[in-house]
Structure 1
Amino acid sequence: MLNPDFYLLTEELIKCISGKLPAAAAHEEMSPAHRKELLRENPHKLNARLSGVLLLLSPGINNEPLITFIKRMEYDGVHSGQIAFPGGKYEPGDIDLAYTAIREAEEEIGIKPTDVELIGPLSELFVPPSNFIIQPFLARTSYISGFIPSPTEVAGIFSVPVTHFFNPGVKDNYEIKYRNGSYLQVPGYKFQEHLIWGATAMILNELLELILCTGLYPLSRA
């Protein structure tokens, strides 16, 4: 598969993101089956907390587009040890959720705000287990040196070539051990030993649909 240039891809994404977003359809495709039950139990967003996350694209070898993920630390919480995008909860004093996403990314992966260029917002996503509304922001950076993980929040950082997610077999149903000890089949994306599922996979799927909009990648995905 051809590797579209990072700069060409991000310029085309600026055009695509200004149109109609895939939103619910892209989210639903990667939604775990138990999400519907959780939404029935907690259908209201009135008391939900707000957060902002950064879908950060950067240039790799030969300017191949990469997208950066973090692995959360193990802790006593619903998202312990999961793969996520850099970001976090809105704090009093944050100008807006874009500011939140960039501020949290600086804390978690050590990138300077001046090295981040926002492309635009994707669709918000309500996450019942933690009662958060996530606002994702697509961004780019020419930053190619190593990211620095927060020693208290981030167990690891890895960047994945965008082309990886278009390879056959990467997108599939995988078995996970849920927090109550039961085993579930969930849709997700695999990269090396990492499984990207849940809210992160749902948000990623919308980005991948936008990338298809650019016409630089195949017309369909496996």
Structure 2
Amino acid sequence: MTGPLVDAGTVPVWLRPLVEISGQVDSSTFTRFSPPRNGQTRPAAVLILFGEGPSGPDVLLLRRADTLGSHAGQVAFPGGGAEPGDADIVATALREAEEETGVDPSGVLPVAVLPELFVPVSRFAVTPVLAHWQTPSPVHAVDPAETATVARVALSDLADPAHRFQVRRPGTGYKGPAFAVDGLFVWGFTAGLLSVLLSLGGWEREWDRDDVRDLEAALREHDRETR
């Protein structure tokens, strides 16, 4: 089931457009990839946790440890694969967020479920769960072997045209949106999802889509600047 989990009128005004539209979009809004017909995917969920910080509405992100075997060093939403003990996909998202960032689920209100999105690299079928951080709790990298950094990033900073560009991988056909904000380099699945959410939520500002950078070169430059 996708769509709102609560009445849109019960969430902050700035979050209502996303809650209201959550039941009107399908996977093609977010990705061009379709699940394989044989159904051999792994269910997973990410928690897209919106809060209200000193700089206004923000979202919780983490950077994966550089030593991980897959997606090392990449910025992501808290999340992971479903486990047998999870009551549903919302429970998966909340459990993973608590395990990775220490967020207290009792202060989190799930507000909407977006369509399942297929990620070919991992073969995960990922369900994004939107939530409002009603009672913020301290967060941190619970296991440094898995998570390097946890951060609350202001939506206004993500929407700032100075922080936005596109990246490509020559020879692969890959091109997608990216962000360089608060010392984080966001690309891939997470950046694509954020880019669409900024638009759907009404936060997007005009930015230069013709600024296309080589991914590997952009990552090296970012590493040099943030050391």
Structure 1: segments with no counterpart, 5+ residues: 1-5, 29-35
Partner Cα distance (2:117, 2:130) in 1: 14
Which of the numbers 9, 23, 43 marks the counterpart of 2:14?
9
Superposition CA RMSD, Å: 2.8
* Residue 189 (structure 2) pairs with residue 196 (structure 1): no
1:1-222 alignment to 2 at 5 Å? 7-18=12-23, 20-21=24-25, 23-28=27-32, 43-44=36-37, 46-61=39-54, 64-151=56-143, 152-174=145-167, 186-212=176-202, 217=203, 221-222=206-207
Partner Cα distance (1:23, 1:121) in 2: 12
**TM superposition shift of 1:175:** 6.2
Identity %, equivalent residues: 30
RCO comparison, higher one (Cα < 8 Å, 6+): 1
Structure 1 length-normalised TM = 0.76
SS at match of 1:107: helix
Structure 2: segments with no counterpart, 5+ residues: 1-10, 208-227
Count of residue pairs brought into register by the alignment: 195
Letter in 2 for 1:16: I
Partner Cα distance (1:45, 1:170) in 2: 40
Partner Cα distance (1:147, 1:91) in 2: 23
Structure 2 length-normalised TM = 0.75
**TM superposition shift of 1:66:** 0.6
Partner Cα distance (2:115, 2:164) in 1: 21
Partner Cα distance (1:75, 1:202) in 2: 24
Q: Is the 8 A contact 1:121 1:137 kept in 2?
A: yes
Letter in 2 for 1:56: L
SS at match of 2:162: coil
Partner Cα distance (2:80, 2:139) in 1: 17
Partner Cα distance (1:130, 1:27) in 2: 15
